[in-house]
Structures are given as C-alpha cells and as structure tokens.
Amino acid sequence: MHNLTNPIFNDELLRHISANLEQFDRRPSFPQESLKKAAVAVTIVDHQNGSDHLQRPSSGPTTGRAAMILTRRAATLKAHAGQWALPGGQMEAGERPEDTVLRELEEEVGLRLDADAVIGRLDDYDTRSGFTIKPVVLWGGTDLTLRPNPGEVASIHLIPLAEFMREDAPILEDIPESENPVLLMPVGNTCIAAPTAAIIYQFREVAILGNDRRVAHYEQPYFAWH
C-alpha cells in the first residue's frame, strides 16, 4: 500500500488487510468460566464526506478514505453508559463470534452485512467487567445508511483510520490499581480507552502495519472495571 497513514478505501486496502490478518497467529483466550463471551465488530467502511466531525483538524481529505464504525453507548444503559464502543454484544447460545457481530451490527446501527463481509479475527481480550471479547474484522462497503438503535446507541461515528495512525497513539498511563498501563487511543481532542482502544490499536498494528502486536496485557481504566 502507498499510504499507510491515511488509507484509501479500495480493493488494495481490502487485500492488504486480508493478507495481514491471514498471516496473523491469533491468540484465543482461555478465561475463567465466570467470564461471559462477547464479540465486537471492527468494521471498515468508506468515510463519506461530512459523516463525522472531529474537533481537531484532520490529517488530510477524508472523502474516499477508510474509516471505522464506532458508537457512543446510550446514557440509559446500566453498564458503560456514554462510553466509546465498537458495535457488538454478548454471544447467544450456539453463535460464533462472526454470527454475533453480524446480528449486532444490524441491531445497533442498522447495517446489514452477510458472512462474505468477514475478513478475519484479532486476539481475544478479557475485561475487568466480566467478558471475553472476540473482535471480528469486517469490510462494510460504501454508501451506508446507518441508524442508531436508541435503546443502545446515542450516536454513530465514522472515524477515519488516519486518526488511529497518529504519531501520538497509543497513550499509556500508569494507574495505582494495576501493574500494567492503561492503553488509550486519541481521537479528535479526546481519547478512547481500553478495551475498545486496545482492539483498535491491535487492528492498526496487525491489519494495517503488519506487526505482530499483542494487547491483552494492557489495562482498562478503573471506571471500566464494573
């Protein structure tokens, strides 16, 4: 690929991500039985002009550039209200992670994709709040019409991948509650925290840059422990 810092949404990017994920030796988690299984969608789409507005100047034109779907969780939710999130949720009985993210994408943001949209998987990530998250990478396409489910999603954001390629990412912060640093990914003038940030960072390193990067050891901020 010619421009890894501001990827263009095209077939070349799809082949690049697919090849890197195919070569990646994904590590599953072997959690305690008390942890629930969940899956999240790392969905790559065409950043439609004007579909999101960052508070800082972007690193270049966004039309035709690749972006990732993120949401802000509804304020009425009992857990993690208002936080940044990737579309996803708890796996139902008999579901594979791929099944879960396809179902949740349609339920949360109104995006219906089929199994052919699945590109690959990243490492599992165990959270302090009691889940094993299984990230699934999908190719979401162009000309999207997204609609938030008001019971789960306050807003939908298409964040250009260029935001996650910034030189100031990731940010690592020490906290007294853990020997491992908290991982944050800056976006605009704010930050996304782990576990979502850890998954985004691994996507950047593995799928875009082709690095063998692990993130399961990174800590979540204390507010995300419950």
Q: Which residues does residue 191 pair with via DSSP β-bridges, in sequence order?
A: 186
pLDDT in the model for residue 201 = 98
Other Cβ atoms within 10 Å of 78 Cβ, number: 5
Mean pLDDT rounded to a whole number for the chain = 88
| DSSP string covering 129-149 | TSEEEEEEEEEEESS------
pLDDT at position 73: 80
pLDDT tens-digit series, residues 130-173: 889 999 999 998 878 899 998 889 999 999 999 999 999 999 99
Query: Coil, strand, or helix at residue 99?
Result: helix
The overall pTM is greater than 0.85: yes
pLDDT at site 56: 46
Handedness of CA 58, 59, 60, 61 (dihedral sign): negative
Read off the pLDDT of residues 108-123 as tens digits, 9 standing for 90 and up. Answer: 999 999 999 999 999 9
What is the tens place of the pLDDT at every residue in 73-122?
875 655 655 689 999 999 999 999 999 999 999 999 999 999 999 999 99
Compute the distance between CA of residue 167 and CA of residue 75 in angstroms, rounded to an integer: 32
**Token pair for residue 138?**
């999908």
